[in-house]
Structure 1
Amino acid sequence: MEQHVHASGHEHVTAEHTSTFELTSDDWLTPAGDCILGIEADTVPAEFDDEFVSACQSHDATITVTLRADGHEHVIEGRGHPDLTFENMRGMVGRTSDYVDDRTVAVDCDAAAADLDRDLVEALAEGADLECILSVDA
């Protein structure tokens, strides 16, 4: 089961955050947003398919996040959690910790923004389109 999100890179994408990565539907980004990989996301967690959300609400669920931009790709593996709500209307966050709030789409991820392929990050900083595919194996 998959959810597809498309977003845009931005000149302030630095991907320096060591414990999270984020996509936002906001149309702006400040230099302080060092976890944000893309803006103007066309889908937010509150719009995700109910069946997808249910599948993610298990400790046994494996959630794979594939990020693609300008010919570059990075795959992040995380897991689900019973407290995931997918209720946020603005952004989605993957976390290396097990912290959950309404923006969280995966916990215990094996990578954060700072771990991403630097060629991918450079493409995003130059404004490349970002394709994010979330898949769940429950």
Structure 2
Amino acid sequence: MKTFVITARGHTNVKCTHKTTLEITKENYLTSTGDCIIGISADKSMLDFPEDFKERLRNADRIVVEILVDELREVIVGKGHKDLILNHPTDIVIRKSTYICPRTLMISANKSAKDIDREIVRRLREGGKLIFKITVD
């Protein structure tokens, strides 16, 4: 099992209403249209993933992402795909669909932004610290 941890923070414009995606970004701002974004100012992007971790993601039948804010925890499960590109310089996106682009971390996820616990969303709106932990079995 391999784990990669990214830290980010919330923003007053965090909505978490998107039905099919969830995103964190290295960008340091969030407009009101970014309804899938849960965290900004991420300390790492997919360019920082080690190559062996990217290969594990591509071959993974199961990828687990833990979203941690204070003592609260949300778990999202999805899968990899051999065609994952994993090289976007700022954005990391979890998708319920099977769409793949450079921003896609995993596909066929069991949750999107709208499924995130509303207390987590509230704390992120207040600028809370977000830990985004990616684990591949």
TM range (shorter): over 0.9
Q: 1:68 aligns to what?
A: 68
Distance 2:106 2:123 in 1: 24
Work out whether residues 55 and 61 of structure 1, in 8 Å CA contact, stay in contact via their aligned partners in 2: no
Please give the TM-score of this superposition, normalised by the length of structure 1.
0.96
* Separation in 1, partners of 2:70, 2:91: 22
The residue number in structure 1 matching 2:84 is: 84
**How far did 1:56 drift?**
1.0
The runs of at least 4 aligned residues of structure 1 exceeding 4 Å deviation read none
CA RMSD between the two structures: 0.7
Question: Which residue of structure 1 aligns with residue 125 of structure 2?
Answer: 125
The aligned residue for residue 56 of structure 2 is: 55
TM-score (norm 2): 0.97
In structure 2, distance between residues paired with 1:128 and 1:69: 7
Q: Deviations for 1:7-43, whole angstroms, at most 9, x for unmatched residues?
A: 0100000100000000000000001000000000000
- In percent, how many aligned pairs have the same letter? 35
Give the structure 2 partner of residue 40 of structure 1: 41
Aligned position for 1:15: 16
Deviation for aligned residue 1:72: 1.1
**Is there any run of 5+ residues in structure 2 with no aligned partner, and where?**
none
In 2, distance between residues paired with 1:33 and 1:56?
26
